[in-house]
Structure 1
Amino acid sequence: MKVLLIGSGGREHALAWKIAASPLLGKLYAAPGNPGIARHAECVALDVTDHQAVVAFCRGHGIDLVVVGPEAPLVAGLADDLAAAAIPVFGPTAAAARLEGSKGFTKDLCRRYAIPTAAYARFRDAAQARAYVESVGVPIVVKADGLAAGKGVTIAFSEEAALAAIDECFSGAFGESGAEVVIEEYLEGEEASFFCLCDGRTALPFGTAQDHKRVGEGDTGPNTGGMGAYSPAPVMDAAMVERCMREIIEPTLKGMAEMGAPFTGVLYAGLMITADGPSLIEYNVRFGDPECQVLMPRLKDDLLALMKGAVDGQLARMSARWREEAALTVVLAARGYPATPEKGSAIAGVEAAGAQEGVEIFHAGTALREGRLIANGGRVLNVTALGASVTAARDAAYRAVDRIDWPEGFCRRDIGWRAIGREAAGR
């Protein structure tokens, strides 16, 4: 098979690494890719916002499958335009991608199909939103309705913070994504990420993870795209997975099909495991980043075969097997992230770090300048390790981190703290 992978981040590097191991693969292209992805694929300068250019590339190169990594092209309808050109694509249509593209759409779906989620209200008027907060009180969660690169969510523990978040959305900080806000009740519990491959009718459970959104140790500071992750998530035992499938995933697939927008691709449920059970926080319509970087090293089966099975509607007869080891990834970010990351600094020692057994270094925001690896984004490298436990994976990952010479970078030193605490307590 000839495959085109869309994207340029750490998630896409992990996908390229795994797809490249498939015996089904003939040739892998990546648009635009990055220096790490270039080890596994031919990177091509293709404007992925120009859907007809993508279609032309696929036709000209005999592409058998397009794998879309990030959410923005899906919300923009890339899968629709590829399908219209009879080019198979792993990823949902624009109508199905509303599950991520509009938080209000997803909340309404939950209400309609009795899917457990936090109580909410939707607003297009700042004054009405402010009055609602003043009436219900805090803590409360304020979300920009549309895509906001992981930065349009505020967990407000004071009324002042909630009102400021509303003003930020309606002032245009997130563009059209903030033209509507969703305000939700605050849920107590433990967050987890749950993934399923979907073919429109069948959902195949595809692993669990937990990530660390806040930039600072002890889960402090502003939210980021993710500073690290580990898999599996201890809170997601077999009984909880079964319950999530029954109460959340299966009603979602049924509802989308009934709406005429069957979901194909990977469905990523962000969950809060409360005292009453699982509650849906949000849906994403692609692999998480950095969760993908801990799922791929644990997957024993052929990712490309599973993706093809999803596209062909064959998931009911397929399964996914996982290594018993835990995986943990540490994000190395550029100084200034998540506000204004400093770009252009040189990075050394990546080869030595990645040479350790059980360690993979996935590139995110990197570039090459005169043969030297440099930082070219906020989240720059994902240092990933396998281990017999989360503690062992953590130790291996940080040993690799310490071999990378990049004074302008930083990372959290407490990735996996919740699971490691459980392990230390023997739970």
Structure 2
Amino acid sequence: MKVLVIGAGGREHALAWKISQSKRVDTVFVAPGNAGTGLDAENVDISATDAARLTAFAKKNEVGLTVVGPEAPLAAGMVDAFQSEGLKVFGPTKAAAELEASKVFCKNLLRHADVPTADFQTFPDAESAKTYLNDREDVPVVVKADGLAAGKGVIVCRTRTDALEAVEAIAGRREFGEAGAKLVIEERLVGQEVSVLAITDGQALVTLPPAQDHKPAYDRDRGPNTGGMGAYCPTPAITAELLEKIEADVLVPTIHHMKRKRRPMSGVLYAGLMMTKQGPRVLEYNVRFGDPECQPLLMRLRSDIVDLLEYTADRRLEELPPLEWDPRPSVCVVMASDGYPGKYETGFVIRGLDDAAKMPNVKVFHSGTASIDGSVVNAGGRVLSVTALGDTISQAKLNAYRAVKAIRWQGAWCRKDISDKALEM
């Protein structure tokens, strides 16, 4: 069969790489892809948001399954467009994708579904949010843009002054565009932040091994939030017993409530959780594979991912045999362009990719790259997701950073402490 992956990041490269390993697949297309997907699959020069051209391409090329990677096309109704043409597609509809596309919608759903989360208030504009902050006790809060902001629309604030500035940045200056048209202000939770991803067809549920993302830009979780500077899997922060509790108290109630709201969830339900002393609390939901969590997860997956994706799209997930996983942990280190998550320059030639590719138990997934005149250049903020397996988390980290050391371009940088949290638990 032929499979189409929509997107251009490290998540899509990992999906295309894993899908291409299936004995059931002849051709993997990636639209629009990047320099890395061009090596492991066939790139198609169509924007990830161009539903008309993508559905036409899928029909013309007899694509048997389409996988939508990023949040933006999901929120815009890409799955609905494919389904209306009778095409098989993995991912949530536009109505279900609002779980990620609107933090106001998500927080209200969590409240009504009785899913544990931080106390919160929602606001339609900057002025009402500022009034709320000035009228309450000066305590740490988190200010969130309602809409999609590429993982950067969340500002953690220690003081009222910080929070007022965050409100002005998001809803006043609209630094994240229309994502800041509405706001959520919630209590700041303390604990380890973890990612639990599950696959669901709206009925059955398959929970994947828990991972831990590293959102802040710099070591020791300092600096501004990013789309993710690295991840590792599994995380010792989640025991088997705790994972069962998360399924029962978080994932299952959410899926049932979405069904009751006539927005049945299909695809990936990704819970961003804070492990507090009172138990797990939902920070947010995503409705697609995390980036960079997808990369270390798929490095460990031994089962045929096409079966998982197709059974979900066909609403037959309960028939899927248990997934098989490599027992070794994996670590993913994101290499970024100088200046990210702020302004950065692109077009610098990346060297050492071949050397890194030769290293055992290593895969370099491309996130923001392009191929120009036979050379691979940086074309985004997050550029590469260097991912490695190891017998222990320490060994996986060592393998990943050895590969990182082999790669260079002007201004390249990364966090040096990805997965260290696992050793501190």
**Is the TM-score greater than 0.5?**
yes
- Preserved contact between residue 5 and residue 31 of structure 1 (Cα < 8 Å): yes
- Preserved contact between residue 15 and residue 296 of structure 1 (Cα < 8 Å): yes
Query: What is the correspondence of 1:270-419 to structure 2 with a 5 Å cutoff?
Result: 270-318=272-320, 319-419=322-422
- Preserved contact between residue 384 and residue 397 of structure 1 (Cα < 8 Å): yes
Could you report, residue by residue, the CA deviation over 1:41-87 in whole angstroms, capped at 9, with x for unpaired residues?
A: 11111133221211111111111111001000000001011101110
Write the distance in 1 (CA, Å) between the matches of 2:282 and 2:251.
10
Instruction: Tell me the number of residue pairs that the alignment of Structure 1 and Structure 2 aligns.
Output: 422
Residue 67 in structure 1 maps to residue 70 in structure 2: no
Query: 1:133 is matched with which residue?
Result: 133
Query: 2:102 is matched with which residue?
Result: 102
Query: 1:9 is matched with which residue?
Result: 9
Amino acid aligned to 1:331:
V
Write the distance in 1 (CA, Å) between the matches of 2:410 and 2:262.
52
Write the distance in 2 (CA, Å) between the matches of 1:344 and 1:38.
18
Query: 2:199 is matched with which residue?
Result: 197
Could you report, residue by residue, the CA deviation over 1:388-408 in whole angstroms, capped at 9, with x for unpaired residues?
A: 111110111111111113242
Could you report, residue by residue, the CA deviation over 1:147-189 in whole angstroms, capped at 9, with x for unpaired residues?
A: 0111111110011110011111222222221110001111111
Query: 1:40 is matched with which residue?
Result: 40
SS of residue in 1 equivalent to 2:236: coil
Write the distance in 1 (CA, Å) between the matches of 2:366 and 2:245.
35
Write the distance in 1 (CA, Å) between the matches of 2:49 and 2:195.
28
Write the distance in 2 (CA, Å) between the matches of 1:277 and 1:143.
22
Alignment root-mean-square deviation, CA: 1.0
SS of residue in 1 equivalent to 2:200: strand
Could you report, residue by residue, the CA deviation over 1:205-260 in whole angstroms, capped at 9, with x for unpaired residues?
A: 02211011111111111111111110001111111110000000000110111111
SS of residue in 2 equivalent to 1:138: coil
- Preserved contact between residue 49 and residue 72 of structure 2 (Cα < 8 Å): no
Which TM-score applies when normalising by structure 1? 0.97
Could you report, residue by residue, the CA deviation over 1:116-160 in whole angstroms, capped at 9, with x for unpaired residues?
A: 000111101322211222214320000000101111111100111
Q: How much does 1:347 deviate?
A: 1.0
Amino acid aligned to 2:380:
G
Query: What is the correspondence of 1:52-63 to structure 2 with a 5 Å cutoff?
Result: 52-63=52-63
- Preserved contact between residue 151 and residue 225 of structure 2 (Cα < 8 Å): yes
Write the distance in 1 (CA, Å) between the matches of 2:360 and 2:50.
41
Query: 1:160 is matched with which residue?
Result: 161
Amino acid aligned to 2:153:
G
Write the distance in 1 (CA, Å) between the matches of 2:277 and 2:324.
29
- Preserved contact between residue 77 and residue 93 of structure 2 (Cα < 8 Å): yes
SS of residue in 1 equivalent to 2:149: coil
Write the distance in 1 (CA, Å) between the matches of 2:270 and 2:40.
25
**Identity percentage over the alignment?**
46
Q: How much does 1:321 deviate?
A: 2.1
Write the distance in 2 (CA, Å) between the matches of 1:265 and 1:233.
23
Query: 2:264 is matched with which residue?
Result: 262
SS of residue in 2 equivalent to 1:260: coil
Worse-matched range after superposition: 326-335 or 404-413: 404-413
Which residue of 204, 215, 218 corresponds with 1:216? Answer: 218
Residue 240 in structure 1 maps to residue 247 in structure 2: no
Query: 1:19 is matched with which residue?
Result: 19
Write the distance in 2 (CA, Å) between the matches of 1:10 and 1:243.
30
Deviation above 4 Å: which 4+ runs of structure 1?
none
Which TM-score applies when normalising by structure 2? 0.97
- Preserved contact between residue 24 and residue 305 of structure 1 (Cα < 8 Å): no
Write the distance in 1 (CA, Å) between the matches of 2:3 and 2:406.
34
SS of residue in 1 equivalent to 2:211: strand
Write the distance in 2 (CA, Å) between the matches of 1:288 and 1:375.
21
